[in-house]
């Protein structure tokens, strides 16, 4: 006899055959029920497995007066609901991340434009410096040479290079302040 009451009693006794019988009896109906909502065979199969795992894990709390199909459909509906809830949360997160990424990209683009504009202004200021100061400044800042390398390349003392770079930076800062691009 495979009535629901008998099957539930057998499940509570860890009867694998009872579980297998229930699985075979309901798997197809439940699968198509789930598929009707999810339209994804893989996700439907995953939920179906979760439903039967839940049945096995909760076998000791099953009530004999509750029909098995009612229990299984209730558990299935809960899994479907949770699936959609998780999808909504996931989509909200993805939308947030896409918006954040766009904001970061916009900010980086804006910063890049401002940096290019500032670099253009600094280049114009450097062009107005005395030639020796221009050369030393560009070797230091654009080419990345050390004070020792510049001094060696130009036949100057390191102290002279340091002074020229100091004066160049001071001049640039003054001109940027005049343009209201630099505050103290």
Mention every residue, 6+ apart, whose C-beta is less than 8 A from residue 145.
Answer: 139, 153
CATH number of 128-184: 1.10.10.10
- Whether 4-94 shares its CATH topology with 128-184 is answered no
| Domain layout of the chain by residue ranges | 4-94, 128-184
> Per-residue confidence at 178, pLDDT binned at 50, 70, 90?
confident
Per cent of the chain over pLDDT 90 is 36
Mean of per-residue pLDDT scores for the chain: 86
> Could you report the per-residue pLDDT of 54-79, keeping only the tens digit for each?
999 999 988 888 889 888 999 999 99
pLDDT tens-digit map of 108-146 = 777 778 778 878 888 888 889 898 888 888 888 888 889
Does the domain formed by 4-94 have CATH 1.10.1740.10?
yes
DSSP one-letter string for 43-100: HHHHHHHHHHHHHHHTGGG--TTS-HHHHHHHHHHHHHHHHHHHHHHHHHHHHHHHHH
Q: What is the pLDDT of residue 182?
A: 54
Q: Is the pLDDT of residue 175 over 90?
A: no
d(CA 2, CA 162): 96
- Write down the pLDDT at residue 18: 92
Confidence band for 86, pLDDT divided at 50, 70 and 90 = confident
């Amino acid at each position: 006899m495979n009535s629901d009451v008998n099957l539930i009693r057998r499940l509570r006794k860890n009867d694998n055959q009872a579980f297998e019988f229930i699985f075979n009896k309901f798997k197809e109906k439940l699968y198509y029920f789930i598929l009707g909502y999810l339209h994804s065979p893989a996700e439907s199969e995953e939920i179906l497995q979760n439903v039967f795992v839940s049945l096995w894990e909760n076998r000791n709390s099953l009530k004999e007066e509750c029909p098995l199909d009612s229990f299984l459909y209730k558990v299935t509906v809960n899994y479907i609901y949770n699936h959609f809830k998780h999808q909504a949360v996931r989509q909200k997160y993805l939308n947030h991340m896409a918006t954040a990424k766009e904001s970061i990209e916009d900010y980086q683009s804006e910063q890049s434009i401002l940096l290019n504009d500032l670099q253009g202004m600094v280049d114009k200021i450097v062009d107005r410096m005395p030639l020796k100061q221009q050369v030393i400044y560009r070797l230091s800042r654009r080419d990345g040479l050390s004070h020792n390398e510049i001094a060696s390349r130009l036949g100057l003392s390191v102290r002279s290079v340091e002074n020229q770079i100091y004066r160049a930076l001071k001049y640039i800062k003054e001109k940027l302040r005049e343009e209201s691009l630099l505050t103290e």
